[in-house]
Amino acid sequence: MITKQQILVFKCSADALYKSKDYTSATILYFKTLFAIQDFVLLEESGESPKDHTSRFRQLEKHFPSLYQELDLEFSTYRDTYSKIIDKTTCERIKVLVENDLNKFKIEE
């Protein structure tokens, strides 16, 4: 089960990498943060936590269509982190997405 504290730890780690200009690694951790936020919200709403990306997509589509669209639009960027160097602009786009969701779902210290 994912907790708010874990989400904030992931975000803090991503921010540290961002500050050190390691945009690829930061993007990976911003995505980890995004997935954790989504899993937390799904658990709160449906009582279920997705076991993989496919399950996450299906549950988001059913319970949170706007989060589903958000993830669907950026999932190719996540896949790119496996094989490409991610630039600052792309990293910042994912960072803002995460920060917006943190605020939207009131996940804070």
pLDDT at 59: 95
As given in the structure block, the two tokens for residue 7 are 């989400």
Count of domains observed in the chain: 1
The answer to whether residue 109 sits within a structural domain is: no
Residues 6+ apart with CB under 8 A from 61: 68
Q: What is the mean pLDDT of residues 32-40?
A: 97
The answer to whether residue 97 sits within a structural domain is: yes
| pLDDT-derived band at 46, boundaries 50, 70, 90 | confident
The answer to whether residue 25 sits within a structural domain is: yes
| Alpha-carbon span 74 to 89, nearest angstrom | 14
Q: What is the mean pLDDT of residues 75-82?
A: 97
Q: What is the reported pTM?
A: 0.95
Residue 48, pLDDT above cutoff 90: no
Q: Which domain holds residue 92?
A: 4-104
CATH number at residue 9: 1.20.120
